Amino acid sequence: MSEHASSAPGRSPASAAKPVWPNLPLEEWKDTYHTLHMWTQIVGKVRLALAPLHNHWWNAALYVNPSGLTTSPMPYHGEMFEIQFNFIDHRLEIHSSYGASRALVLAPQSVAAFYRELLAALRATGIEVEINRKPQEVPDPIPFDQDETHRFYDPEYANRFWRILLSTHLIFEEFRARFVGKSSPVHFFWGSFDLACTRFSGRVAPPRKGVITSEAYSHECSSVGWWPGGGNVKGAAFYAYTAPSPPGLGEQRVRPEAAFFNKELGEFPAPVR
């Protein structure tokens, strides 16, 4: 890994850093976005396969850290290991408690190639894991080991994406700290590709169909998040929703002025200009 000085002499970290909210136009980075979405799903499914089940599938999520996104430590045969996307040096890094480590270069390559290289790197560190190769929450999913379509990686846009996650994470952590009830971590869900924080009322919610949604929404909750966009949402947006949604929620006035109730999504998106 290349070495970086913590900051230049006489400069604070804030003045030396890149913009805290760089431009991220969806049309300009969508190819990198779609590829990175699949890469994060592969890494996320490694965590899902090995980490103990937490309520609301919190064991599946990734976390923002000072260089990118991380699984956080995962158990393996009495030891720990961690996988992180480093969006500064553009590497996928594997670190273990028993000293074995590997790093893969993040560069343009197919999802299938990334899948093969990651599993080979894990085996080289003594880790054997099998994952469900079908992507989640995307139209027309291509199994990871067959996906030669998504193969783009622009390091500049990957870094911008992480910088926005970092800024959003800091805001959400402050928001989370003000609530004394049950609250989720600030975490990144690789299925929907968004950063979210959820508060809970403490009351059980009406049952839902489906293994994933029945566990995710087993209790009343109110969630906020940031999403880079997709489908009918043509750019990045913050969002807020409640589950279940109380009568009349869509008629309520919310801030900022750009926020509105989207009936199709069942939530309030606030586009980022």
Which pLDDT tens digit goes with each residue over 44-80?
999 999 999 999 999 999 999 999 999 999 999 999 9
pLDDT at 143 over 50: yes
pLDDT confidence band for 20 (50 / 70 / 90): confident
- Dihedral sign for Cα 22, 26, 29, 33, please: positive
Q: What pLDDT sits at residue 18?
A: 63
CA neighbor of 183 nearest in space, from 56, 66, 60: 56
Q: What is the pLDDT of residue 84?
A: 98
Helix, strand, coil shares of the chain, percent, nearest 5, are 30, 25, 45
Q: From the centroid of its chain, how far is CA 251?
A: 30
Bridge partners of 243? Answer: 221
Reply yes or no on whether the pLDDT at 142 is more than 90: yes
The tokens describing 209, both together, are 């169909």
Residue 127 · residue 55 · CB < 8 Å: no
The pLDDT of residue 12: 53
Strands of the sheet containing 187-189, edge to edge, are: 187-189, 194-204, 219-227, 237-243, 268-271
